């Protein structure tokens, strides 16, 4: 009996840092879903924003996010760690988000409309702060892990944050029409609770377990180069769709209350892909994953945006398009994160590169939207076609660039091995 009890106990032991990291991920992702994806439903309701204003807001969000994501790694390495721990920096960031997010609700007038500047301020602070936050969270999730342990941790991370974002879209629904700014109250609360979850974690994320030589499949590095190009492309499409979808759903007759839940179709599809890729590992090292992901993403995007042109088929087409879009984006996200963490060092700087790539897409998508508006006009019936054309050309060029980078890397490594 005694001899068998120890292994059983070991199998049942809880990975406390992972559990805390996932709890932090869930709470913080509710805010990310509500602001990064949901803010456009709120601004449409509270401020009457159309596509042009929402494209401009989304552009600011993306550009500021890049600054936070790209800067947090070097800042921690050169400045903060001399005076503050990584955990302390994370706590400061979470508290700042928690205190500033409710500002538009506090300043709203009797009809529930906030000053426009307060929305822009909250989005700017949130973008900078979350750009700093997510590389830290990812480092806590993946640090000290390799191979199967790393795959399990990153798979659970993807599933947890994706579930939270879906929930955020549905929580927006009861408030969207009458009290849209109330959503920002529970965004703030979620981040304050996140700070409480972060406190028990170590002062700094653990690094990879490098006691033994770590070798990765030869295909992983070229695949990382391809997915590092395709990841921002996928977010370029995502950030193009976010400011566009309120108008698209409106043309299809979807009421304001149900727009965010309808939009969650692509998030649910992406969650399904995350779950499948977590359970089935046969996709590792496979080139069809990024190629299929990119193709399905473009098709789903076009179906979604052009659905109002399809008459009675418009509503089924928008849901089918959103589902395809979610599947494509899920394939690209999981592949990029996995190869980045497996080949890289799973530290804050590696997470920062991953998030900065996402930020490029966050900024690029609405810039494409603004360019389409400039070319054909905000009220033009050809606005959707213009936007799809611009985004698709950029996406196709990015795929070619990614493949060329991977081919160059493979040839260079083969030449070195021969020498």
Instruction: List pLDDT tens digits, range 129-170.
Output: 988 888 888 888 877 777 678 778 888 999 999 999 999 999
Answer positive or negative: Cα dihedral of 299, 304, 310, 313. positive
Q: Give the pLDDT band (50/70/90) at residue 344.
A: low
Q: Do 317 and 310 form a contact (C-beta atoms < 8 A)?
A: yes
Taking alpha carbons only, the member of 143, 142, 280, 289 closest to residue 222 is 289
pLDDT digits (tens, 9 = 90+) for 42-61: 999 999 999 899 999 999 99
pLDDT at 4 over 80: no
- Predicted local confidence at residue 1, as pLDDT: 39
State the pLDDT confidence band at 80, using cuts at 50, 70 and 90: low
Per-residue pLDDT of 14-51, as tens digits, reads 788 889 999 999 999 998 889 988 999 999 999 999 98
User: Given pLDDT bands bounded at 50, 70 and 90, which one contains residue 292?
Assistant: very high
Contact 150, 366 (CB under 8 A): no
Position 206 scores a pLDDT of 80
CA distance 150 to 156: 10
Within 280-345, residue ranges assigned H as helices are: 288-306, 314-343
Average pLDDT over residues 195-213: 76
Q: Is the pLDDT of residue 2 over 50?
A: no
Q: What pLDDT does 9 receive?
A: 46
Residue 360: per-residue pLDDT: 80
pLDDT at 261 over 70: yes
* Cβ(188)–Cβ(97) below 8 Å: yes
Q: Is 141:21 a contact under the CB 8 Å cutoff? A: yes
Give 338's pLDDT tier (boundaries 50, 70, 90): confident
Average pLDDT over residues 311-322: 95
| pLDDT for residue 208 | 56
Ramachandran region, residue 49 (left: φ > 0; alpha: ψ -120 to 50; beta: rest): beta
Distance CA 323, CA 301 (A): 10
What pLDDT score was predicted for residue 68?
82
Least confident of 182-186, 211-215, 234-238: 211-215
Compute the mean pLDDT over every residue in the chain, rounded to the nearest whole number. 85
pLDDT higher than threshold 50 for residue 8: no
pLDDT the model gives residue 126 = 94
Please provide the size of the chain in residues: 419
Q: How far apart are the first and last CA of the chain?
A: 59
């Amino acid at each position: 009996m005694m001899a068998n009890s120890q292994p059983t106990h070991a199998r049942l032991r809880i990975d406390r840092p992972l559990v805390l990291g996932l709890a932090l991920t869930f709470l913080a992702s509710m805010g990310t879903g509500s602001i990064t994806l949901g803010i456009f439903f709120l601004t449409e309701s509270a401020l009457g924003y159309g596509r042009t204003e929402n494209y401009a807001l989304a552009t600011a969000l993306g550009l500021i996010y890049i600054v936070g994501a790209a800067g947090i790694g070097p800042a921690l390495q050169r400045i903060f760690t001399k005076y503050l721990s990584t955990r302390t920096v994370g706590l400061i960031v979470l508290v700042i988000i928690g205190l500033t997010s409710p500002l538009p609700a506090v300043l709203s007038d009797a009809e529930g409309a906030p000053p426009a500047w307060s929305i822009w301020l909250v989005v700017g602070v949130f973008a900078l702060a979350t750009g700093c936050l997510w590389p830290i969270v990812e480092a806590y999730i993946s640090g000290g892990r390799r191979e199967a342990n790393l795959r399990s941790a990153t798979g659970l991370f993807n599933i947890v944050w994706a579930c939270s974002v879906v929930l955020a879209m549905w929580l927006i629904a009861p408030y969207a029409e009458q009290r849209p700014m109330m959503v920002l109250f529970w965004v703030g609360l979620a981040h304050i609770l996140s700070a409480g979850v972060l406190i028990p974690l170590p002062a700094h994320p653990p690094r990879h377990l490098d006691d033994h030589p770590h070798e990765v499949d030869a295909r992983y590095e070229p695949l990382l180069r391809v997915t590092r190009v395709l990841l921002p492309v996928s977010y370029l499409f995502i950030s193009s769709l976010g400011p566009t979808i309120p108008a698209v759903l409106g043309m299809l007759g979807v009421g304001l209350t149900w727009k965010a839940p309808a939009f969650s179709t692509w998030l649910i599809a992406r969650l399904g892909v995350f779950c499948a890729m977590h359970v089935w590992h046969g996709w590792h090292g496979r080139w069809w994953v990024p190629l299929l992901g990119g193709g399905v993403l473009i098709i789903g995007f076009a179906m979604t945006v052009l659905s109002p042109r399809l008459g009675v088929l418009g509503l089924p087409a928008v849901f089918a398009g959103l589902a395809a879009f979610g599947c494509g984006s899920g394939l690209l996200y999981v592949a990029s994160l996995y190869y980045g963490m497996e080949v890289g060092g799973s530290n804050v700087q590696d997470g920062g590169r991953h998030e900065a790539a996402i930020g490029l897409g966050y900024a690029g998508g609405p810039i494409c939207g603004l360019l389409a508006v400039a070319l054909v006009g905000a009220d033009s019936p050809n606005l959707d076609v213009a936007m799809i054309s611009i985004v698709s050309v950029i996406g196709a060029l990015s795929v070619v660039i990614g493949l060329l980078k991977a081919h160059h890397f493979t040839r260079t490594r083969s030449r070195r091995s021969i020498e």
